Amino acid sequence: MITARSGAFLSYARTDDRSSHGFISDLREEISQEMRSRTGVPFPIFQDRLNIRWGEQWDDRILNALQTSLFFLPILTPSFIRSDACQREILRFRQFERELGREDLILPLYFIDVPEIDRPARPSDEVVPILQARQFIDLRQHRGKKVEALLSDVIIDIGAEILQRLSALGSQPGRQASNPIEHTAPLDDSSFRVVSAAPAFPPLEFRDRREVFPILVDRIGKASTRLSVVTGSPGAGKTAVVSQLQSMIEAGDVLQDTSAFVYLDARGARPASVATVIEDLIECLHEQSDRDRVGRQIRDAAGSWYDAISVLFNELANRRVLYVIDGAEALLGPDGTVRDRSFRNLLDLITTRRNHAVHTILISSIRLNDRFEGYQPADAIDLQEGLPLAEIGPLVQAWSTPASAWHSGATAIDLEDLYELTAGSPRLVELLLNASLAWPDLSPAEQVARLKDIRRSHMAGVLANAAMSVLEDDVLSTIIVLAAFGRPVPDRALSHLLNSDVGASLSSLVETRFVRRDGDNYYLPPGDATHILKEAPNRQAFSKLEVMRGGAMNLIRRAADWLHDETIGRGVERVEDLSYHLRDIELRLAIGEYHVAFQKLSDVDEEYLEGWGHSDVISDMRLAVEGRLGHPNDELRNLAQYANAKSRQEQHSTALAAVERGAIHLQALGPGERPRAVQLQTLMRARIFYDDGRLAEAEAMYRAAVDDRLPVLSRAEFTQALIGAALCRAEVGDFEGALGGLIEAENYLGSTGEAPHLRAQLNYNQGLVYMYLGEYKSAVGLLGRASTRACAAGDHLLDTMAVDALALLRYCEGKSEGAAKLARRASQMAVRFGSPKISRNAYGTLALVELNRGNGDAALAAAEAAAQYAGSRKGWGAQAILGIARLRELDVAGARGAFFEALEYARLTLRKEPQNFQALEFEGLVLTGLTVAGSDDYREEARAAYAEARRLTQAPGVVKLCLLKLEDMLAEEHQGGYDAVVAAAQGIVVDAPANQSNEQLS
């Protein structure tokens, strides 16, 4: 039997990747993204640098990856041909290819001339004949270029070759039954396109929705609203409402101008993410040719999600699209606010942009408490828990089977009693109808009498247990395993744990509505899994089942082990690809394996999230293990990682509170461990204060750690303290002091190969300082070295920062084309990693560059994207640039709004640190902008702010950057009367005229 396979295995010589500055790694990423765009599902490509962790058995992981990959992509170079490891890999994969009877699953990518390939193979050669028999894709002419410089046709050709072979495999005899990639979107074209349908419900009249439907339909029909929220407790019929809405639209009863409908379950297999929304909106285009064209346009542009959504809005124009997200409580925190910053920004974009008719409907058991344009929390449509009495009869008739006493023997009084018993809850009615099969000798009235003394909170569990008592053992086992997983999983997960095929069992369970289906995944309705697992150990019918040997806890552990095994070899490109990792951790927490969960959290953090800017995705799980790890060192480490994530997300007070909670664990440490832990806590506080703009406090803490010569910190930690203190100096304009601190840090770290991440960080910060000092040649070399070292260390975040800094440097040098390319690359990299600070900076740089090039539309789009990530720490920069871009586009009112917001941010920063020269510069910039925009005459205040900034620093690079921004603000037609302001920005002291003429926009 052939192991289920997907994706591809990248076989290459690491020296080639290093010598080409990561070309091969970038190529892998581009191919993976191309295939994802073509198929709508992830296409993981295994690469040893990314997919093998320290401590793992190298050969075992390589072998496992070869056994689970569908295609083999060798990068042909002389080093590849001479590598024993590469030869073993291709020979192992060739064996699989032969078993399948195929000759086209190895796709060589020819990168550097290989003499052995171009001459007859020797008899002793095993690998060369395999390669010579294949059709190459020739990359040799692109050697020495960046991947983004590749002709888009090259990546497209590679994707087309893979897709062609993939299609052939779908009908290949001997393949596993499930296709590795499946298109779920319909391809037919009609006036109303259902991309993905809501679950089918009995065709009820929904008399209870007389008020709900007009309200919902009215909100959807208003041009001023783009977001609706339907709330209600589990089982209240929220999903049935959108199912009925879809049916009514299809029948032409309401919203006849609706063009497309999308249903996404946030609890299902597809993540409710920005990327998923983009994929679905492409599918909302009716013509296949349009879908292909727009998909290719978005891929070729390689822009941000903001750019992709903008393209789709333009394509969809004013065609109404309804995008339903069910189970949206999974996206919300306990306070009802959207957890994920990108998704919140997406909702903000949808509700504020007016050139589209995409309407989002969130179905949630928790009310959305965020405020968006056209939506306030009070606008949520709340459903009562149960259906009205009038609906119970049709519901019973539709859902009961002929074997149930309710099907034909229920009187009006029985239905009234049922309504009173269940309070009209559709889920309780559903469970009771299944449970009634366990009481064939009882009439409806007797069944109700049997249940009337049971508390409502226990009713679902009692009914579920009764319903399961009549099920066959194999069906019962399937339900219990589903309960153990607690989330949607494919049938192969259940088959694995049960060691048998579960197809028939699942079909019957779906038919009786015991189990829900979402594409290829199955799950129990909310709450049922908890009831079932709680009762399982106490029921004889459960205990006799083979699957329950060892108890429920052991079963959940086995489910977690399956999820863990599934993570091995999976390509991880973004947070959404970590779904099985996170489900594994959830189950470890459920069975109290807190140490295992903690270790897995640390692995995810260090292996993926650290280089992505500390996404907040696992913060709640860290809170779940807090106080349960037993050892104070583990508790402190967990709190530190939680605080680091929150600080990177600019939630500084939350981060600081987590550090303070560590005090109790410090006291529990022994005298030999406590000094080091105290110092690490001090460093963490310093980092949070620095991120929050509290520079004096941060520097004092860094200095305290540096001056304390007790040998408690490691070389890397002490170096980090030196870097932190130097950065505090740079923020207040003391660049010579900052450079001295960075050189001291470099000397202390020494010339060993220790801490490559820190060396990259040193190069990056040294490059920034030299740029501010105007020594651009030195800065370029250091920033380039920082990028290379960051890539080698797997720190994508720092690599993005270095590329962004290089773009800013080229902007200062007046090299607009080079600056534009680098800025676009940085912005594309930034949005992948969930760091608001880096995304804000990268888009801000891109906006400045496009302003300088005279590309007003592109500058405005980039500035709006930067403003999406604005926060109190340097949010003034994003808002100020947005104001300039709007001013250029003659949106005076919008410019004023952005300038006032920037001014508020800048002054908030100055209250924390009055000597922050950048905040002073931006204060001067936005005050100038407000004057230009006709708000009032703030030129004297602007001049004073610039003068104070120049008192702190007159570094040539700083002054140059400051003047470029001011020039962008003062377009030629508005330059008169600002001589004193410009002079102050340059550091020239002049007397300001008593009355300056103020040429304002009309």
Q: What is the pLDDT of residues 107-132, one digit of tens each?
A: 999 988 888 887 777 766 788 888 88
Distance from C-alpha of 919 to C-alpha of 910, rounded to nearest angstrom: 7
Q: Does 436 map to a domain?
A: yes
Helical packing angle, 652-661 and 632-648, nearest 10°: 170
Are 220 and 365 in the same domain?
yes
Phi, psi (rounded to 5 degrees) for 323: -115, 110
C-beta of residue 727 within 8 angstroms of C-beta of residue 738: yes
| Least confidently predicted of 323-337, 603-617, 882-896 | 603-617
Q: In three state form, how does the secondary structure of 549-563 look? A: CCHHHHHHHHHHHHH
Element (H, E) at 224: none
Task: Indicate the residue among 345, 360, 382 that finishes a domain.
Answer: 382
Instruction: With a cut of 70, say whether residue 430 has pLDDT above it.
Output: yes
Instruction: With a cut of 60, say whether residue 567 has pLDDT above it.
Output: yes
CB-neighbour burial class of residue 228 (10 A; exposed 0-12, middle 13-18, buried 19+): buried
What are the strands of the beta sheet with 258-265, ordered from one edge?
Answer: 193-196, 258-265, 320-326, 358-364, 227-231, 381-382
- What is the identity of the amino acid at 293? R
Q: Tell the residue number behind the tokens 């803490």, with chain if given.
A: 701
pLDDT score of 997: 40
pLDDT score of 210: 57
pLDDT score of 323: 96
In total, how many domains does the chain have? Answer: 5
Nearest to 60 by CA among 451, 565, 454: 565
Are 510 and 558 in the same domain?
no
Q: Does 596 map to a domain?
A: yes
- According to DSSP, the residues that pair with 45 across neighbouring strands are 8
Distance from C-alpha of 770 to C-alpha of 813, rounded to nearest angstrom: 13
Are 603 and 629 in the same domain?
yes
Element (H, E) at 926: helix 917-932
Q: Which residues contact 990 (CB under 8 A, 6 or more apart)?
A: 979, 980, 983, 984
pTM reported for the whole predicted model: 0.62
Instruction: With a cut of 80, say whether residue 882 has pLDDT above it.
Output: yes
Are 366 and 430 in the same domain?
no
Distance from C-alpha of 806 to C-alpha of 429, rounded to nearest angstrom: 64
Q: What tens digit of pLDDT does each residue of 223-279 get?
A: 789 999 999 877 677 887 888 888 888 888 888 889 999 998 887 656 787 878 988
pLDDT score of 998: 39
Instruction: With a cut of 90, say whether residue 352 has pLDDT above it.
Output: no
Token pair of 487 as six digits: 């989330």
Q: Tell the residue number behind the tokens 């260390």, with chain if given.
A: 793
Name the DSSP class of 512.
T
C-beta of residue 642 within 8 angstroms of C-beta of residue 622: yes
Phi, psi (rounded to 5 degrees) for 393: -60, -55
Residue of 561 and 149 predicted with greater confidence? 561
pLDDT score of 540: 56
Name the DSSP class of 500.
S
Residue of 410 and 835 predicted with greater confidence? 410
Distance from C-alpha of 361 to C-alpha of 231, rounded to nearest angstrom: 11
Under DSSP, is residue 73 helix (H, G, I), strand (E, B) or coil? Answer: strand
Distance from C-alpha of 803 to C-alpha of 784, rounded to nearest angstrom: 8
Under DSSP, is residue 448 helix (H, G, I), strand (E, B) or coil? Answer: helix
Are 277 and 394 in the same domain?
no
Q: How many CB atoms lie within 10 A of CB 755?
A: 19
Q: Does 544 map to a domain?
A: no
* pLDDT class of 172 with cuts at 50, 70, 90: very low
Tell me what the mean pLDDT of segment 306-319 comes to. 84
Q: Does 724 map to a domain?
A: no
- According to DSSP, the residues that pair with 516 across neighbouring strands are 523
| Least confidently predicted of 241-255, 483-497, 530-544 | 530-544
C-beta of residue 601 within 8 angstroms of C-beta of residue 585: yes
- What is the identity of the amino acid at 405? A
- Beta strand 489-490 pairing with 521-523: antiparallel
Task: Indicate the residue among 382, 400, 422 that finishes a domain.
Answer: 382
Contacts 24+ apart (CB under 8 A), 966-969: 966/925, 966/928, 968/848, 968/851, 968/852, 968/884, 968/888, 969/884, 969/887, 969/925, 969/928, 969/929, 969/932
Q: What tens digit of pLDDT does each residue of 938-976 get?
A: 899 999 999 999 999 999 999 999 998 888 888 654 556
* pLDDT class of 169 with cuts at 50, 70, 90: low
pLDDT score of 150: 54
Q: Tell the residue number behind the tokens 């919300």, with chain if given.
A: 332
Q: How many CB atoms lie within 10 A of CB 171?
A: 8
Q: What is the number of alpha carbons within 13 Å of residue 965 lying toward its C-beta?
A: 30
Q: What tens digit of pLDDT does each residue of 643-679 get?
A: 988 887 778 888 999 999 988 898 888 888 888 888 8
- Beta strand 516-518 pairing with 521-523: antiparallel
Distance from C-alpha of 843 to C-alpha of 615, rounded to nearest angstrom: 19
Residue of 493 and 159 predicted with greater confidence? 493
Token pair of 479 as six digits: 């339900």
What are the strands of the beta sheet with 137-138, ordered from one edge?
Answer: 45-46, 8-11, 71-76, 109-110, 137-138
Q: How many CB atoms lie within 10 A of CB 534?
A: 13
Token pair of 313 as six digits: 């809005």
- Beta strand 489-490 pairing with 381-382: unpaired
CATH code (residue 87): 3.40.50.10140
Task: Indicate the residue among 115, 136, 170 that finishes a domain.
Answer: 170
- What is the identity of the amino acid at 897? G
Query: Residues of the chain with pLDDT > 90: what percent?
Result: 20
Q: Does 877 map to a domain?
A: yes
Distance from C-alpha of 798 to C-alpha of 778, rounded to nearest angstrom: 19
* pLDDT class of 870 with cuts at 50, 70, 90: low
Q: Does 298 map to a domain?
A: yes
pLDDT score of 712: 76
Are 378 and 393 in the same domain?
no
Q: What tens digit of pLDDT does each residue of 723-741 get?
A: 999 999 998 889 999 999 9
- What is the identity of the amino acid at 934? G
| Least confidently predicted of 291-300, 717-726, 745-754, 952-961 | 745-754
Instruction: With a cut of 80, say whether residue 76 has pLDDT above it.
Output: yes
- According to DSSP, the residues that pair with 138 across neighbouring strands are 110
Instruction: With a cut of 70, say whether residue 680 has pLDDT above it.
Output: yes
Tell me what the mean pLDDT of segment 592-600 comes to. 93
Are 329 and 397 in the same domain?
no
Are 522 and 592 in the same domain?
no
pLDDT score of 362: 95
Token pair of 266 as six digits: 């946030």
Distance from C-alpha of 464 to C-alpha of 514, rounded to nearest angstrom: 9
What are the strands of the beta sheet with 516-518, ordered from one edge?
Answer: 489-490, 521-523, 516-518
Are 272 and 320 in the same domain?
yes
C-beta of residue 872 within 8 angstroms of C-beta of residue 839: no
Distance from C-alpha of 139 to C-alpha of 165, rounded to nearest angstrom: 20
Q: What is the DSSP string of 691-719?
A: HTT-HHHHHHHHHHHHH---TTS-HHHHH
Are 413 and 442 in the same domain?
yes
* pLDDT class of 205 with cuts at 50, 70, 90: very low
Tell me what the mean pLDDT of segment 25-38 comes to. 79
- According to DSSP, the residues that pair with 261 across neighbouring strands are 194, 322
Q: How far is CA 598 from CA 585, 595, 995, in A?
A: 8, 5, 66
Tell me what the mean pLDDT of segment 803-832 comes to. 86
Q: Does 830 map to a domain?
A: no
Strands (DSSP E) along 448-491, which ranges? 489-490
Q: What is the DSSP string of 295-351?
A: HHHHHHHT--HHHHHHHHHHHHTT-EEEEEEETGGGGB-TTS-BS-HHHHHHHHHHH
Instruction: With a cut of 80, say whether residue 883 has pLDDT above it.
Output: yes
pLDDT score of 317: 78
Q: Which residues contact 494 (CB under 8 A, 6 or more apart)?
A: 478, 481, 482, 502, 506, 522
Q: How many CB atoms lie within 10 A of CB 606?
A: 14
* pLDDT class of 832 with cuts at 50, 70, 90: low
Tell me what the mean pLDDT of segment 78-90 comes to. 86
Q: Does 71 map to a domain?
A: yes
Tell me what the mean pLDDT of segment 606-622 comes to. 71
- According to DSSP, the residues that pair with 844 across neighbouring strands are none
Are 152 and 36 in the same domain?
yes
Domain that holds residue 609: 550-669
Element (H, E) at 264: strand 258-265
Distance from C-alpha of 857 to C-alpha of 886, rounded to nearest angstrom: 10
Are 891 and 937 in the same domain?
yes
pLDDT score of 924: 92
Query: Residues of the chain with pLDDT > 70: what percent?
Result: 85
pLDDT score of 188: 39
Instruction: With a cut of 70, say whether residue 615 has pLDDT above it.
Output: no
Phi, psi (rounded to 5 degrees) for 105: -100, -5
pLDDT score of 771: 93
Distance from C-alpha of 462 to C-alpha of 472, rounded to nearest angstrom: 18
CATH code (residue 216): 3.40.50.300
* pLDDT class of 709 with cuts at 50, 70, 90: low
* Average pLDDT value for the chain: 81
